[in-house]
Structure 1
């Protein structure tokens, strides 16, 4: 066969692979969705400081979160103030008097990992210095501090700035730093990153920012849990080990939703194989919040080794069924009720890829009770609730 034809066919196959299933960033990291905590949803800019971050690390190491798989303690925007004469980024000494290296060392001493935030533009979303023009310099600094995770935002970009090129530049800078650093792309799904970000980042925001609400659609996109469910539907083929669709951080425990709605929120992030980054005040969790965030059976669905993002297989008015294949051959199934009254929802085996003649063991992952059924399973699902089950055939 002609050499040029061989190369052309190889390129065509490679491109089909990128567009159909994504190609993982080859840094060996995030083989399951990252788990941890991020400061923004609760503390934003005003409430962020070294004391809060240290107390969060203390709690995560002792309250069961670390044992449940939460690893990363990530400070978001507002840790930086400017650059010195050599262009080195300057830490906000009022918020972080001990410096970032000391904070990272403290978090590492707890058996946890440390994450930090930057932006591809001239300034961050909170008008702090961005990384544009300083990518390699910043990456070397992050590595020297002991950073394990970098989130890079998409505010204050230049006219016609290209997202793929910008994030690829930071990917190369992180690689050159010599330290393994999980790379989180945060351009809000604005340039369909699932189409290009697989080889660039370990995860990418597939949606605009989440709001702490059930249903609150915004003019510029995104919103509450229901809006994000719809945005995540149809992009499941681009996600997998090392490269994840990210529907944004968790709002569980922040007060804008009911306990039932927060259970749905957490259940669906597990179905999505989404990063599980708590965004609440870890030191002041209610019993309900702790019960949700520490549900190891739900976490196991999120962290399943196959790494397949679940898909919506049926929608009927306010009710819907989502299914996720698991590494052991079973299925995680979510019966979701978006309506205002309790609904009876039935999932038939043939809707999730199994013959109707098969018997199945059904594990309810919130009540922790088992049942058996053949052909189908029916549950009464409360308003804004989700019945999350694990089926084994």
Structure 2
């Protein structure tokens, strides 16, 4: 075994060990990725109570609540810059004059609500953070009627004050949320960690969060989406029920993504079991973006009640397997679902491409069987695949999403005994070569 293979093997053993020792948080909320709306990328600090309520009404009238987008989350900048004399966070008295009535009205529409805070002294926009006020703030957020807390990572206290690492910094709020649930008798707030960057949050975040950001902020550009997909190709196994790699808020409807890039963006986020949060001006949303967001066949995979795990690569494609390439991430992905095996074929090239694979390259496909093919974007049944599949003319940065269901034994009389010739052997011990 070469030194490189030994290193890869050691990494694999370490990952298996970690997976065996880390359990996802199961406290009765957010078993599946949450879906909804977040104000940040659409409006940043330019938010107020009327805007949030108008957005919620639009989400409902456009049918997004009906297909599962049931959270309306406000992000940073909703508060006064200073706490009250008693130490409480105060909503901005002009922009959010009655925040409890706002959450009540949103709940009456059928939504849940989310709010934002920070694990440091201040939020990223300079408003009061929750360090050393964790239980006080958690209680305030619950009293205001919120169901979810996004918790950010700015304004970190000095080392001789905090005296703990990133895990402990978020553990403080996790403990406060658990204490609040016990004392109030209400369901715990969903805890969404925003510990961005390469800090192995996908390993430790499962101890107390329902989702955890895995990269820095997203922008609506293919050159930003591709590296995030690349990161996920190595950590997809950490997503399951109760805990999810958060690839950041969807950027559909913002920037200059093509229609095909937008489909790839949504497909990857959904099938990798990321939370799906919209952040665009809902009064100006296009029919093309709505068509993508309301793809119920893709959403059904994200919200699968039986299978919690994400899809993962079975072949990288233009790169050797296990190659990290932020510009050209893995192209061939698959995973189990309640209703069959899901495939994502991602054309990372800058030109249209033909994409071919043998079915049994995916660990979820049985040899000697044929499979019916459902296209999750055209919403059509496309015949039966035997041994292999080819997607023709996949657009540049485009995607093909398929659901394959077992359709019985493959036809008899096929020319070759094995679809893949690795260790294909006759009963008498003779290797059969293609």
Task: Give me the TM-score of the superposition, normalised by structure 1.
Answer: 0.90
Q: Which residue of 2 aligns with 1:248?
A: 248
1:17 Cα deviation after fit: 6.7
Q: Which residue of 2 aligns with 1:392?
A: 405
Q: 2:222 matched to 1:214?
A: yes
For 1:304-340, what per-residue CA distance to the aligned partner results, in whole angstroms no more than 9, with x for missing partners?
Answer: 1211111111122257111121133x21111111112
Question: The residue matched to 1:234 in structure 2 has which SS?
Answer: helix
1:169 Cα deviation after fit: 1.2
Q: Does structure 2 conserve the Cα–Cα contact (< 8 Å) formed by 1:20 and 1:238?
A: no
Flag the 1:304–1:22 CA change in 2: closer, same or farther, 3 A. farther
Q: Pairwise mapping of residues 173-184 of structure 1 onto structure 2 (< 5 A)?
A: 173-178=176-181, 179-180=186-187, 181-184=189-192
CA RMSD between the two structures = 1.6
Matched residue count: 368
Q: Pairwise mapping of residues 190-209 of structure 1 onto structure 2 (< 5 A)?
A: 190-209=198-217
Q: Pairwise mapping of residues 155-170 of structure 1 onto structure 2 (< 5 A)?
A: 155-160=154-159, 161=162, 162-170=165-173
1:190 Cα deviation after fit: 3.6
Q: Pairwise mapping of residues 342-357 of structure 1 onto structure 2 (< 5 A)?
A: 342-353=352-363, 354-357=365-368
1:16 and 1:337 map into 2 onto residues whose CA distance is 30
1:283 and 1:357 map into 2 onto residues whose CA distance is 51
Q: Does structure 1 conserve the Cα–Cα contact (< 8 Å) formed by 2:103 and 2:144?
A: yes
1:18 Cα deviation after fit: 5.3
Q: Which residue of 1 aligns with 2:76?
A: 77
1:85 and 1:128 map into 2 onto residues whose CA distance is 16
Q: Which residue of 1 aligns with 2:426?
A: none
Task: Give me the TM-score of the superposition, normalised by structure 2.
Answer: 0.82
1:89 and 1:101 map into 2 onto residues whose CA distance is 14
Structure number with greater Rg is 2
Q: 2:334 matched to 1:323?
A: yes
Q: 2:378 matched to 1:367?
A: yes
Q: Which residue of 1 aligns with 2:36?
A: 36
Unaligned runs of 5+ in 1: 1-14, 216-223
Q: Pairwise mapping of residues 46-195 of structure 1 onto structure 2 (< 5 A)?
A: 47-81=46-80, 82-97=82-97, 99-160=98-159, 161=162, 162-178=165-181, 179-180=186-187, 181-195=189-203
2:24 and 2:122 map into 1 onto residues whose CA distance is 29
1:18 and 1:202 map into 2 onto residues whose CA distance is 18
Q: Which residue of 2 aligns with 1:6?
A: none
| Higher RCO, Cα 8 Å, sep 6+ | 1
2:150 and 2:73 map into 1 onto residues whose CA distance is 9
For 1:204-240, what per-residue CA distance to the aligned partner results, in whole angstroms no more than 9, with x for missing partners?
Answer: 111211111101xxxxxxxx11010111111122211
Q: Pairwise mapping of residues 206-285 of structure 1 onto structure 2 (< 5 A)?
A: 206-215=214-223, 224-285=224-285
1:113 and 1:141 map into 2 onto residues whose CA distance is 17
1:273 Cα deviation after fit: 0.8
Q: Which residue of 2 aligns with 1:218?
A: none
